[in-house]
A = this chain, B = another copy of it.
Amino acid sequence: MCLMPHTFSYQHLYNFTNSIFTAMGCKPDDAAIATTVLLSADLRGIDSHGVARLTGYVRLWEAKRVNATPSIKIVHETPSTAVVDGGAGLGLVVAPFAMQVAIDKAKNVGTGWVSVRNSNHFGIAGYHAMMALPHDMIGIAMTNASALVAPTFSIERMLGTNPIAVAIPAGTQPAFVADFATTTASNGKLEILQRKNADTPNGWVQDSKGNESTDANELKKGGALLPLGGDRERGSHKGYALGSIVDIFSAVLSGASYGPWVPPFPAYVPMPENMPGAGLGHFFGAMRIDAFRPAADFKEHMDNWITRFRNAKPASETNGVLIPGDPEREMEAHRMANGIPLVDSVVTELKTIAEKFGLDI
């Protein structure tokens, strides 16, 4: 048995993933955008959110928690805002629809802000935020997720890793693209340590009683991920506030489910009882640069900002300051040229769903 990761070309994985979404019954345009969004995670090196999740999406569809042919609708709007109902569709399809609504509103009145209910997991937040860039807009994307995170002073899982992405255009420099979980570490990073049987650094997880822990398997034992900051002395109340803001903007504004009632990603986990809203929630924003100042002026100053930060005095034994988005952009170029490596367990899962639909990987 080969222990090296299997490497697939982007085009190969694209065709395979597209065929799975098509086999689920997605319309051609929906299958194409879902595939593009999902694989943007693999390209950018966020392996936990890419094809490794494809089996999970299929299971949600089998459990009738995802509708492959959703009716996605604007249910309320003003010139600069909208609420979108995702019709229980794939978040991978609902989110680009909603982000496009935000972009269209920004074209008209300067900015657009869209809160989404009745959706599902939407892949990486960064993809949706980056949709704004070609329009000379700043893009913002966030989502709630099922509860894995204990607020400061609690032992109960109340929030998801609730990521925030902000994409900001520049001129000759590449865009600034921040995309991060509001926890010390994402669940994906924890899963990597679980596979290696390695400990976590301090500040990532706590045990079921709220004690410090470095056990990467703590979540399976009733423990919790920690908000960015780790503990109260190091500002975990700020990470908790950030995760809460994402939850409220994504779900309380739209009518999605929130806090401990967010639907779980694994289809075998029962749905929460007494859900206060419909499905997962997302929140998107688009701000036209020239609604503030001429885009050329802004981009010149963004180039200056980026260059100055890149040239900040480096700490010893480091390569110096990175601009948010640098590592992911380099990974994307590398993987587009050299292929996407998948670990054995993911390949095995993909083979299983391929067989289910009479397909090949």
Contacts and interface: CB of A to CB of B under 8 A. Distances in A.
Interface stretch (A5-13, A33-41, A232-240): A232-240
A87 B318 CA distance: 42
**Copies assembled:** 2
Nearest to A180: B238
Interface residues of A, number: 88
Interface in A225-247: 228-230, 233-235, 237-242, 244-245, 247
Given A235-B228, A313-B156, A322-B153, A276 B293 contact: no
A114 to B, nearest CB: 9
B301 A252 contact: yes
Interface stretch (A23-31, A253-261, A341-349): A253-261
Interface in A269-302: 276-277, 287-289, 291-293, 297-298, 301-302
Given A234-B184, A258-B305, A305-B258, A109 B83 contact: no
A115 interface: yes
A259 B237 CA distance: 26
B185 A152 contact: no
Interface string A201-241: 11110000110000000000000000011100111011111
Nearest to A315: B210
Contact of A176 (B248, B319, B320): B248
Contact of A151 (B152, B202, B312, B319): B312
